[in-house]
Structure 1
Amino acid sequence: MAVLVLKGLRSAWSYTSLGMTLKMGTLGLGLRLLDFDSIQEVLDEVQCTVVSAVANHYFDAYVLSESSLFVYPTKIIIKTCGTTQLLKSIPPLLRHASLDLGLTLSSCRYTRGNFIFPRAQPFPYTNFQNEVVYLEESLPAALCYRKASVMPSKTPRTPGTCSPRPPRTRRVVSETATTTICTPSKSA
C-alpha cells in the first residue's frame, strides 16, 4: 500500500539574476521574458502546474497547483508545499535564464520549515543538510559565493534558511531588501 505524505510546510526558492541582455523592445523585462513553455518545464520538474496567471507592470504572478510563483525582471520566487520537489527547479531555471535570456545567477535563497515526516520525504528532503549539499552542488561553479549559511530553527515550525553567503569583507554597493514569509499549511 502506498502512503502519500504531504510535507506540511511551505518551501521557497528565490533566484536573482545579473547581467541582463537588453533586446530591442524588451528593455527592463529580464526574467519576465521567459516563455510559458519554459516556465512549465521548470514546474514539471517541481511536480506542479499553473492554475492561473496575472501580470502588471512590475511582475507576473502564477497560482500553482501547490502554491505560487512570482517572476520579476531580476528575480523569480517559487513557493511550494505538499509533495513538490522544489530543488529540482534549479537546473532548468538556470539553463533557461542563461541560454534563452543571457542572464546569470547572482544570488539565491532556499527556505523551509521542518517536515512532519522527514524520513518519508524523497532525497534530498530527508534532512536539511542534504538539501544544502544538493543546493550547493546545483549552483554554477562561477558563482562567487557558493558556501551556504544555515539559520537554525528555534521551533519545529520555524523555517530554516540556506543561501550563499559572501565573505565578511564584501563591500555592499547597493542594497536590496527581500522579505520572504513562509506560513504553515492548514494541514500541518
Structure 2
Amino acid sequence: MNQSNIARQLMISGILTAAVFGLLVYSINYFIFGIITPITRFLSSLLIAELIILVETLYFITRDLYVSKNTLVSASTSEVWQISSGRKTQMVKESDISYLYSQAGIVYLITHDGRKILTQFNSFNEVKEAFDLDSFFQVNRQYLVRPQAIDTVMKEVNQKLKIKLSPSAPDIPEAAMISRYRSVDFKKWMAQ
C-alpha cells in the first residue's frame, strides 16, 4: 500500500466520520431531545471523533501492512499445498513432499515419511496449474520427483535410466524408468 492509498483511506474515513457524526448528533439531539446543538460544541465533538477515527485507521493500516509482509515472507519460504480428498482436506508443506505418482487418472502425493495421500488432481497438468513445480522433475507419465526422493540412479540399455525412489509407498513401484530422450534433461536437472 503506497502513500497515496493511505492518504485516500484516511480522507475517506474522515469524510465518512464527519457525515455520520454530523447526521447522528443533529438528528438525535433534535428529534429525541428537541435541542439544536451549538456549533462550537458540535465542532469540538467532531474533532474528537475525527482524531479517534484517524488513530484507529492508522492502527489498522499498520497492522494490515505488517500482516501482509509476514505472510509474503512465510509463503515464499514454505509453500503449503491444500490437498482435498473426498470430505477431507489436508495441508502439506511442499518441503515434506518426496514425489507425485499418477495412475489411471488419479494423482497421489508421497511424503518423506512414506504417507500416500490421494489428491483432487486427475493429471500432472492440473497440479502444474495449481502449484509452482520448479523443484520437481517429470520423469515420465507416472512420476514427478524431487531430488530428495531419488535414492539411486542406474544406467539401463539404450541410454535409459532407472531411478529408485525413497521412501516407498504401498502399491506404488519404487523404481521409475527415464527414456533416453528425457535422460539428458534429467542429468542437467540433477546437476543444478
Larger radius of gyration: 2
TM-score, normalising length: structure 2: 0.22
Structure showing greater relative contact order (alpha-carbon pairs closer than 8 Å, 6 or more residues apart): 1
TM-score, normalising length: structure 1: 0.22
